[in-house]
Amino acid sequence: MRRSRAFIPTTKEAPSDATLPSHQFLVRGGFINQQGSGLYNYMPLGKIVLEKIKNIVKEELDKAGCNEVQLSFVTPIALWEKSGRAETMGKEMLRIKDRNEAEFVLSPTNEEAMVALVKNRVNSYKDLPLNLYQINTKFRDEARPRYGLLRGREFLMKDAYSFHASLEDMKREFDMMEATYKKIFTRLGVDFRVVEADSGAIGGTGSKEFHVLADSGEDTIVICNTCEYGANIEKIFESEEEIDALNEKSYEELSLKNIEEKCTCGGTLSFKKGIEVGHIFQLGDTYSSALDAKFNDENGKPQAFHMATFGIGISRLVASVIEQNHDENGCIWTKETAPYTVNIMVSNIKDEAQMALGEKLYTELQEKNIEVILDDRKERFGFKMKDAELIGFPYTVIIGKELVNGSVQVYDRKTTEKTSVSVDAILTHIMDLL
Ligand code: ATP
Ligand code: MG
């Protein structure tokens, strides 16, 4: 991409309600813009990051034997009446009427619809297990939409639903998906923890959350410093007041405190703040029974499917990466999430030698399938540099005054260090970095 042709409207102004770095930098960096309360548009850079995250999730799920589908986002209310959630979901579920006064819902989740899809299409234990997923828009009319993409009303979720002939098989899938999620979050380059969680309104017998560790996280979790154990405080504290009080405390206030109890491994337990980016549930047969969705077991006897569900907040992840990786000047994308890996900045586009080298390197990197952007704008060096920092490209090759001495500089966004490299060695140097 040539920056002169790109739609990347960066600004100095952050929205007045943007208190968190991810919200400020994603808007200022021209990734997203607010359409309405809890509603966001993705501009080209935001769209690229979103697609990258989607692709990693898709690749790992496909490898794990899941099938991708896409359900209609608008669902008839009748579906929600069958499970009782037309009543229990309350105001978070947005209802609309069509021209014939028929009532519909903007899907906040899709258990009912997915069970209805499988019902009468999967009839035998021989067709099980089955895991279906989609990466699709959700709508929840949140009481307090805030923090940009972290808590939107319209957002992108990966939701998967698995169907099993036995409880044991459902648990096997649950463990396998936990391992798959670990691979996904590791590939995304985020520092995360798996914690035991409350099953909440959805019910069921077991649930785990995946949290990106970040001081600004809305959730408080307890983690062991020795083993992998972790739990959401919602799981380990009984009283609502105690939970609310801890959630309201900032990370600084909490981190001073280790909790009195020791981990079963003997390790020290301490509080951390986390952003919930994934949630896996053992559902049981709540929804399959409610919708009378059955398969014939080995003895030809009809049985309700055992189910599990698996969610990932795709759009929330875009913001979570930045909540965890930023400095005062802007975003610091991880390798797998960066919108472009290399930014070639031509300091003075009127200088023919600078421009020629920029073009040459741009072509060479493209030929090597490196995601590269050429900053060929007629702007001051300082302006372009601030822009590069705000957006957070992992590497910027600065082609400037040093070119007369045969060298350019490579700026590393994470370390903020600049290294001089000779023009002859620049391509190899970049390839070694990646
Ligand atoms: P939270 O407790 O943060 O409200 P939840 O427990 O209601 O989330 P789930 O029903 O488990 O959410 O949804 C699966 C995933 O979808 C969550 O783990 C989260 O990453 C994402 N998600 C949920 N609500 C939102 C939202 N309003 N905006 C963006 N992502 C969301
Ligand atoms: Mg949840």
Q: What confidence tens digit (pLDDT) does each residue in 92-149 have?
A: 999 999 999 999 999 999 999 999 999 999 999 999 999 999 999 999 999 999 999 9
Nearest CA to ligand 1 atom 12: 279
Model confidence at 201, pLDDT cuts 50, 70, 90, reads low
Domain match, 304 and 346 both: no
Tokens 């390798």 appear where? Answer: 335
Nearest CA to ligand 1 atom 29: 151
Q: Please report the pLDDT score of residue 205 as a whole number.
A: 52
Q: How many domains does the chain have?
A: 2
pTM, to two decimals: 0.96
Burial label, 102 (beta-carbon count in 10 A; 0-12, 13-18, 19+): exposed
Range of the domain at 252: 12-330
Coil, helix or strand for 208?
A: strand
CATH classification at residue 18: 3.30.930.10
Q: Please tell me the number of Cα atoms within 13 Å of 2 on its side-chain side.
A: 10
Domain match, 252 and 128 both: yes
- Distance separating alpha carbons of residues 192 and 108, to the nearest angstrom: 25
- Distance separating alpha carbons of residues 178 and 280, to the nearest angstrom: 8
**CA 237, 21, 374 angle in degrees (round to 5)?**
140
Domain match, 284 and 386 both: no
Q: What is the CA radius of gyration of the chain?
A: 25
| Residue 427 in domain | yes
- Distance separating alpha carbons of residues 76 and 82, to the nearest angstrom: 11
Model confidence at 204, pLDDT cuts 50, 70, 90, reads very low
Q: How many CB atoms lie within 10 A of CB 55?
A: 12
Whether the pLDDT of residue 171 is over 60: the answer is yes
- Distance separating alpha carbons of residues 46 and 315, to the nearest angstrom: 10
Domain match, 274 and 383 both: no
Domain match, 261 and 360 both: no
> 155 in ligand 1 pocket by Cβ < 6 Å?
yes
Domain match, 305 and 390 both: no
Ligand 1 centroid to 414 CA: how many Å? Answer: 29
Nearest CA to ligand 1 atom 22: 313
